[in-house]
Amino acid sequence: MTLSMSALTLPAVERALTNLSAILDKGLTHAKATGIDPDTLVQARLAPDMLTLAGQVQRASDSAKGLVARLAGVDNPSMADDETSFAQLQDRIARTLAFVRGVDRKLLDGSETRTVTLPVRGQTITLGGQAYLMGFALPNIHFHVTTAYAILRHNGAPLGKLDYLGPLA
């Protein structure tokens, strides 16, 4: 198997989003089992100036669809950031996965040397495709999935590292 940007990118993105969905399912089950209001848990955060659980899922989604759209050179579908329930967050993840799976994987190949521009904190950053994938987008996706996991763990959800990593071969 030759290394290619599609093989490096698409399984990693799908895996992170699929694991995030499973983590949220366990979080909702935990809330129902312990009497935590699920809609309140969606607003939980680890520090007053950190994003809520909903915000972590929204940014994981943005990082995932932005990565695939920029590498493939296709439009990045806008999503409204209006989710307030576990069901809506699951729908957001499902729409993100549908977009990722619908992109022609051949469009990603060769993107390691393409220039990608993206907005970061009010500035425009320019990176090569490979540096964008490995040094920015994947760390960012993993950051938000991990922080969603940590918010739920901090609120008592019975999750383990293998929920984050997902099924291993």
Site residues (vs its own copies, CB under 8 A): 1, 3-5, 7-8, 11-12, 15-16, 46-47, 50, 112-113, 120-121, 125-128, 130-131, 134-136, 138-140, 142-143, 146-147, 150, 153-154, 156, 161-162, 164-166, 168-169
Q: Between 34 and 91, name the residue whose CB sits nearer to its own copies.
A: 34
- What whole-number distance in Å separates Cα of residue 116 and Cα of residue 95? 23
Q: Between 16 and 28, name the residue whose CB sits nearer to its own copies.
A: 16
Q: Between 80 and 168, name the residue whose CB sits nearer to its own copies.
A: 168
Residue 105 C-beta: closest distance to its own copies, Å: 15
Q: For the chain, what is the radius of gyration of the CA atoms?
A: 16
What tokens were used for 140? 């960012």
Cβ atoms of 125 and 39 within 8 Å: the answer is no
- What whole-number distance in Å separates Cα of residue 1 and Cα of residue 40? 46
Residue 87 C-beta: closest distance to its own copies, Å: 25
Q: Between 85 and 134, name the residue whose CB sits nearer to its own copies.
A: 134
Contacts of 146 (CB under 8 A, 6+ apart): 164
Terminal alpha carbon distance of the chain: 17
